[in-house]
Amino acid sequence: MRIHEQREPLGSERATARAPAAAGHQARQFAAARLSPAEILEVQRTAGNRTAVAVQRAADPAATPEQVTRDLERLRALQENEDLDPQLRAVLAEVIAAADSVVRWNPAIPTSGHAHPSYSDDGVRNGFLVAYQGATEDEAQRLGNLVHELTHIAVYLGLDRSFVNYRHPDQAAVQDSLPAEQDGMEARQGRLMVGAANEVLIENLQELERLLPPDGGLRSDEQGAAQQVREKLRYGLMTPHKEYDTVLNQILTWTNLWGSDRRTPFYRRLVELATQARERRQGPQSLRTGNRVTRAGRRIAAQARRLWERVRSHFPRRGERT
């Protein structure tokens, strides 16, 4: 069953301005009637997912903690700030729109974060669950992580609904063989992953690392910013098919809040790559892989997977005891 039909590009001015107001008006009407969960599900099927999420929020205000409200308001203020980079403002419009699909927030995560689909008892996706570093006092760190997690949702809604950062070249044929979301998200991602595409993303991230200015070149009031960016780029290298877009947007947020020099080759290339990624999420563009040797792409992808398995082996999986 299709429960989310994106009629306009996520984050476009028209969609961003019109949809929340309409959803909010309907939500207040439905919430006043005190609908049951089953009735809210019916709202989702008939009025759309955005309205259903708004109904759930209206019925349960605790679903959006105060910290989340403050951080989203801060993102909106930054999005309207004409002194910031236009590309960051476009990204913020996109992720703010994506936040409308979140039904449960956890802003108390000390490190990292996550974004996952939320499902009803009968297996229908009814929104997303998001956890982020809302407890940290460092605004750049906090908002950067929030943008990172909301970018995952923007990727999901704009592309293949599997959190993969590009379209498969034979998407229609592969789509029929994908397992159900709720039962096999990692398997879906594995089938949608393309070695040659991963190679492009890896090369882009490695190029950004080479272009990094020395310590103090990104943030004059604090040493170590370059290392922070370097570590984030290497995080993206481990699973580029899932983390490429998120890493670019997170670093773009950091550098603007730090007041980094926008004239450096690093920053100019960062903006160029982030723009390309956003255009892929919002339009029919495919990732250009050129005439790369697929065997090399598979080799690099395999190396990235092995590295990820090594990292993951040091941490217990959910449900396992330490």
Look at the chain and report how many structural domains it folds into.
Answer: 1
What integer pLDDT is reported at residue 60 of this predicted model? 52
Looking at the domain assignment, is residue 316 inside a domain? yes
284 pLDDT above the threshold of 80: no
Nearest to 257 by CA among 229, 227, 230, 215: 229
Residue 229 lies in a domain: yes
In a domain, 240, yes or no: yes
189 part of a folded domain: yes
Cα separation values, 298 from 123, 190, 210, 270, 287, Å? 34, 12, 23, 25, 16
pLDDT at 14 over 60: no
Distance CA 258, CA 85 (A): 12
Q: Are 253 and 88 in contact (CB under 8 A)?
A: yes
CA nearest neighbour of 113 among 56, 152, 162, 57: 152
pLDDT computed for residue 209 by the predictor: 97
The verdict on residue 244 lying in a domain is yes
Residue 257: which of 96, 175, 139 has the closest Cα?
139
Percent of the chain with pLDDT over 90: 49
Structure confidence by residue, pLDDT tens digits, 146-203: 999 999 999 999 987 789 999 888 777 777 777 777 677 888 888 888 999 999 999 9
The per-residue pLDDT of the chain, averaged, comes to: 78
Residue labelled with tokens 């996706």? 125
Q: How confident is the model at residue 39 (pLDDT cuts 50, 70, 90)?
A: low
Does residue 48 fall inside a structural domain? no
Query: Across the beta sheet with 125-131, what order do the strands follow?
Result: 102-106, 125-131, 114-119
Q: Assess if residue 118 is contained within a domain.
A: no
CA distance 322 to 312: 13
Is residue 232 over pLDDT 90? yes
Question: What is the residue range of 251's domain?
Answer: 161-322
Give the bridge partners for 113, in sequence order. none
Answer with the residue of higher pLDDT: 263 or 2.
Answer: 263
12 lies in a domain?
no
What is the structure's pLDDT at 43?
Answer: 53
What ranges in the chain are assigned the alpha helix state H? 13-32, 37-47, 49-59, 66-79, 86-99, 139-158, 171-175, 185-192, 195-211, 225-238, 240-258, 265-282, 294-312
The model's pTM: 0.71
Residue range 103-121: mean pLDDT, rounded? 89
Q: Looking at residue 79, what is its pLDDT?
A: 97
Average pLDDT over residues 130-138: 94
